[in-house]
């Protein structure tokens, strides 16, 4: 298995977001990548001792931590990839169509996103498409410890 690498997705010169804010998120991202690689090394070494119940308990805890760290990588990459200075909302695009079917207006969608963004704690606020309800929803991912990458 190849180690994860920090991707070249760091944005710069963004309207409305300071360089300091981006740098703070970038430091978190780099640490998540580092931790994933470290935990995978540990996981590989522990797999050699499959019959040991103590080691198996460590592997279970390691799997939880790896899920948290890996999702930190994934969510930061999505965050950075979606930040582009000067990008305007395309009112004729597919996203606009999805928003129109789920909210009364784009402004209503933004109002909902901003409201959900007030959730307390270390959260991610993500706009998702709920395939069962056939609608766009703004959701809270608490501490990104669920394996969200496979869900998005």
**CA separation for the pair 83, 149 (Å, rounded):** 19
**What pLDDT, on a 0 to 100 scale, did the predictor assign at position 101?**
93
H helix intervals, 49-124: 53-81, 94-102, 106-116
- Model pTM score: 0.81
* Contact present, 66 and 41 (Cβ < 8 Å): no
87 dihedral zone (left: phi>0; alpha: psi -120 to 50; beta)? beta
- Comparing 115 with 49, which gets the higher pLDDT? 115
pLDDT digits (tens, 9 = 90+) for 59-96: 989 988 998 899 899 999 988 988 877 767 778 888 89
The angle, 0 to 180 degrees and rounded to 10, between the axes of the packed helices 53-81 and 19-46 is 150
Instruction: List the one residue out of 92, 97, 96, 98 whose CA is nearest residue 130.
Output: 98
Residue spans per domain, the chain:
19-81, 94-143
Which stretch of 50-54, 69-73, 114-118 has the lowest confidence by average pLDDT? 50-54
* Whether pLDDT at 152 is above 50: no
- Comparing 142 with 134, which gets the higher pLDDT? 134
For 122, other C-beta atoms within 10 Å of its C-beta total 8
Element holding 21 (H helix, E strand): helix 19-46
Looking at every residue in the chain, the average pLDDT score rounds to 87
The pLDDT confidence band at residue 7, using thresholds 50, 70 and 90, is very high
């Amino acid at each position: 298995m190849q180690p994860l690498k920090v991707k070249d997705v760091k944005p710069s010169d963004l309207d409305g977001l300071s360089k300091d804010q981006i740098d703070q998120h970038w430091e978190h991202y780099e640490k998540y990548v580092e931790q994933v690689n470290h935990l995978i090394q540990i996981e590989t070494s522990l797999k050699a001792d499959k019959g040991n119940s103590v080691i198996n308990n460590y592997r279970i805890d390691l799997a939880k931590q790896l899920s948290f760290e890996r999702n930190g990588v994934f969510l930061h990459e999505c965050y950075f990839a979606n930040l582009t200075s000067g990008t305007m909302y395309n009112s004729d695009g597919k996203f606009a169509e999805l928003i129109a079917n789920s909210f009364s207006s784009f402004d209503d969608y933004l109002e909902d996103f901003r409201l959900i963004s007030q959730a307390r704690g270390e959260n991610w606020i993500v706009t998702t498409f709920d395939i069962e309800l056939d609608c766009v929803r703004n959701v809270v991912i608490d501490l990104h410890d669920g394996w969200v990458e496979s869900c998005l």
